[in-house]
Structure 1
Amino acid sequence: MDDVQRLIKRHQSIGKISTAFIYGILVSVAMNFFWTPGHIYSSGITGLAQLVTTLSERHLSFSISTAIGLFLLNVPLFILAWRKISHQFAMYTMITVFMASLMIKMLHPVHLTTDPIVCAIFGGAVNGFGTGLALRNGISTGGLDILGIVIRRKTGRSIGTINMAFNTLIIIAAGFMYGWPYAFYSAIGLVVNARVMDMTYTRQQLMQVMIITDRPKTVIDSIQNHIRRGITIVHDAEGAYHHDNKTILFTVISQYEMNDLEEAMNEADNSAFVSISELYKVLGHFYEPKL
């Protein structure tokens, strides 16, 4: 049994490191092929690293590359993750950011276009896909992700306001550095980045599930064997067509778990009526897998 667990952990580690490598390539493509040629700033710590590079080139006798700046600016956040989240999470985050910095440094830019709108859209899309892919495979890309997790654990609140304020400062900086049209282009890139990331990373998108079945125990056992979720049972429901006895089950899952739910229902009761709708917000305890 121990050998099996070690094998599973080794497989998961290889998968996460491989994902970190893919993320590094994608963010370097976004940076070197689109953002830098188009004078577009990214969001979060990556955008701050770009700003540091621009300021050092203009006002200092030496230049701090975006690759080095990205890693150095994340160091305090690595320490925060190590102390407040978990050692494993901090290590994988460090590997991911290192891969991104290394790939940005090593991957030579290919001149495709300097059109700022094209660079904003495609840079945001490529980076959003890479970030979403990393989050989907259980690794963080560093930056404000770490701060968000710590704040949510301490206060239960989202980092949304802080994230928005930080990115607003990045957009304003783009305006001062390259002209105000570029602030607008950078804002377009941020929106595209966020939308593609949401499309790729579905774990935080919550869905309410209503199941009407005449085999409640079998369905509950099957769902909880596939997904770690609580289920509310409503007994003595009546079907209007045949007037037969039904049970209504309610649960909340993430969109990431949709395939597991469908598999569980096919195993337990493929004739059950299942209604699934998007949720805006959940109050109270909702289990999130540990990082």
Structure 2
Amino acid sequence: MNKWTRLVIIFIASIVVGFAFNMFLLPHEVIAGGVTGIAMILGLATPVNTGIWMILLNIPILVVGWMKLGKMFIANSIFSVAVTSIAMIYIPVAKVTEDALLSSVFGGVIAGAAIGIIIRNYSSTGGLDVISLLLTQKRDIPLGGLMIALNSIVVFISGFIFSWELAMYTMASIYITGLVIDRIHTRHIKLSLMVVTNKGEEVKKELLNNLYRGITVVDGEGAYSAAKVKVLYSVITRYELAFVRPLIKAIDPNAFVSISETMEVMGNFRKDDNFMKKPM
């Protein structure tokens, strides 16, 4: 995927986030999580538009992210925040339904799907997304679950400012958003990859040339055929699986490949999203 395609996807997903906020959550005073939620509270409590508050509150967090997550990630995040903020300024705040619970559910699903797509395309919606991503680099924690925990504080703030009934709707929306994000952003899920092939050297070379992953190579022998084979073992993320499959298939379509989910990885395992040596 080239950078322009990525930016188009981020652009569309960011507009969808603004749509979910203005058409489902804000009309019922159901607050989103984190900095966005605080911006919503300030937007409801003051004459200043929520989109403007989003820009102001995200500036210091994006500066920290620039130093820790890289220029491209933060540049994409600034673009996403700007598009979402502008979308929220121009999309009218209107009720799609009078049912606050229904709006919380659908708003959470739509926002979660859009945010998950934004994060998967090496960007974020700013705020606690950036802080959560920084924390997931240190520990393999599901991003959505971490965001639920960090965003819970907004529930208590909205409860004191508005009502506890709306706070519970907010919690439901945040929970659903986190679940949907984890269905899309799966970097924390580790997979054990085992490849049995008679083209071991070629497969090993191609994987090493394209991935920042270590590979263990073991000599093997077919029990029935007595053919000499190579067994390659590595641990990858679920993201990388989409790149690894075609790499192996292109070299040895007959390779035996076993993929299973790994509960925990100890030792030297690269945790950031820059797992590709070559752009795909």
The answer for the alignment partner of 1:233 in structure 2 is 217
Report what 1:248 is aligned to: 231
CA RMSD of aligned residues (A): 2.7
Give the equivalent residue in structure 2 for 1:138: 122
2: distance between equivalents of 1:164 and 1:108?
27
Aligned counterpart, 2:29 = 39
TM-score (norm 2): 0.84
Closer, same or farther: CA 206–69 of 1 in aligned 2, 3 Å: same
Matches within 5 A, 1:195-206: 195-206=179-190
Give yes or no for contact 1:53–1:69 (8 Å, CA) kept in 2.
yes
Q: Residue in 2 aligned with 1:50?
A: 40
3-state SS in 2 of match to 1:230: coil
**Are 2:196 and 1:212 aligned?**
yes
C-alpha separation in 1, matches of 2:202 and 2:68: 40
Separation in structure 1 between the aligned mates of residue 184 and residue 69 of structure 2, nearest angstrom: 24
Asked whether the 8 Å contact 1:148–1:158 carries over to 2, the reply is no
2-side partners of 1:144 and 1:222: how far apart?
Answer: 37
**1:179 maps to which of 150, 156, 163:** 163
Residue 209 of structure 1 contacts residue 277 of structure 1 at CA under 8 Å; is this kept in 2?
A: yes
- Unaligned residue ranges in structure 2 (runs of 5+): 276-280
**Counterpart residue identity of residue 176, structure 2:** V
**Mapped partners of 1:183, 1:241: distance in 2:** 64
The equivalent of 2:252 in structure 1 is: 269
| Distance (whole Å) between structure 1 residues aligned to residue 26 and residue 136 of structure 2 | 33
Q: Output aligned runs, 1:9-28, within 5 Å.
A: 12=3, 14-28=4-18
Q: Which residue of 1 aligns with 2:60?
A: 76
Q: Partner of 2:278 in structure 1?
A: none
Out of 30, 33, 54, the position equivalent to 2:20 is 30
Cα distance 1:67–1:246, how it changes in 2: closer, same or farther (>3 A)?
same
Please give the secondary structure, in 1, of the residue aligned with 2:259.
strand
Alpha-carbon distance between aligned partners in 2 of 1:179 and 1:289, rounded to the nearest angstrom = 40
Deviates more, 1:98-107 or 1:254-263: 254-263
Q: Identity across aligned pairs (percent)?
A: 29
The Cα shift of 1:118 comes to 1.3
- The alignment status of 1:108 with 2:98, answered yes or no, reads no
TM-score normalised by length of structure 1: 0.81
- Between the two proteins, the alignment pairs up a number of residues equal to 272
SS of residue paired to 1:207: strand
| Separation of aligned partners in 2, 1:268 and 1:243 | 22
The alpha-carbon distance between structure 1 residues 133 and 149, as it changes in their structure 2 partners (threshold 3 A), is closer
Which AA in structure 2 matches 1:24?
A: S
Provide structure 1 residue ranges, at least 5 long, that are not aligned to the other structure: 1-7
Q: Deviations over 1:37-96 (max 9, x none)?
A: 233221221112122234xx2xxxx42322111111101112222344433433332221
**C-alpha displacement at 1:226, in angstroms?**
4.4
Residue from 261, 273, 276 that aligns with 1:278: 261
Deviations 1:7-55 (A, max 9, x none): x9xx51x33432332132111111111101233221221112122234x
**Amino acid in the other structure paired with 2:39:** A
Note if contact 1:67-1:102 (Cα within 8 Å) is conserved in structure 2. yes
Q: 1:162 to 1:64 in 2, by over 3 A?
A: farther
Judged with a 3 Å threshold, the aligned counterparts in structure 2 of structure 1 residues 158 and 69 are, in CA distance, closer, same or farther, namely farther
